[in-house]
Structure 1
Amino acid sequence: MTDTTIIAIALQTMLVALKLSAPILVTSLVIGFTISVFQSMTQIQEFTLAFVPKLIGVGVALLVCGNWMLHTLMAFTIDLFEGLPAMLG
């Protein structure tokens, strides 16, 4: 196993992690920004006003993207395990 192989695996791992976290983070970011703008305009400073919509939005994002996320992670893991003997030998 060479250093190039290790760097390629690390790069693939980071890309998969970025792909898997993107739907949840983008959803939370958009909802949080929208709620912040609303709170700034109305001067309502309520914690649950920001927390509950984010929680619901992340839940919906997981329901919508969960199947794709699971398949992406499984494909990456299977490719990694299938390439393991070639890397070690």
Structure 2
Amino acid sequence: MGVEQIGDLFSQALFIIVTIVFVMVIPSLVVGLVVATFQAATQINEQTLSFLPRLIITLVSLIFFGSWAVNKVVEFTLGIYTNIPFLVG
């Protein structure tokens, strides 16, 4: 297994991780920005007002995109397992 193959595997794994994290975190960041703007406009400083909507949106995005994320990780893992003879030899 050469350095190029290790680098390719690492870059593929990193890309999958970053993609999955972005899909899960971006909706939460957008909702957090909207809630923070609402809090700044109304001068309400309630901690649960900013936490609860972000938590709900993160859980909803996990429900909708969770199977896609698991499929991406399983495809990557199966790709590694099927290519073991070619990577070692």
**Above 0.5 in TM-score?**
yes
Give the gaps of 5 or more residues in structure 2: none
Report the alpha carbon displacement of residue 85 of structure 1 after superposing the two structures with TM: 2.0
Q: Where do 1:28-39 residues align within 5 Å? A: 28-39=28-39
Report the alpha carbon displacement of residue 80 of structure 1 after superposing the two structures with TM: 1.1
Q: 1:50 is matched by which residue type in structure 2? A: S
How many pairs align? 89
Relative to the length of structure 2, the TM-score reads 0.94
Q: Deviations over 1:15-74 (max 9, x none)?
A: 100111112110111011111111111111111001100110011101111111111111
Moved over 3 A (4+): none
Who is 2:15 aligned against? 15
Relative to the length of structure 1, the TM-score reads 0.94
**Aligned-CA RMSD value:** 0.8
1:63 aligns with 2:63: yes
Between the aligned residues of both structures, percent identity stands at: 30
CA distance in 2, matches of 1:24, 1:50: 17
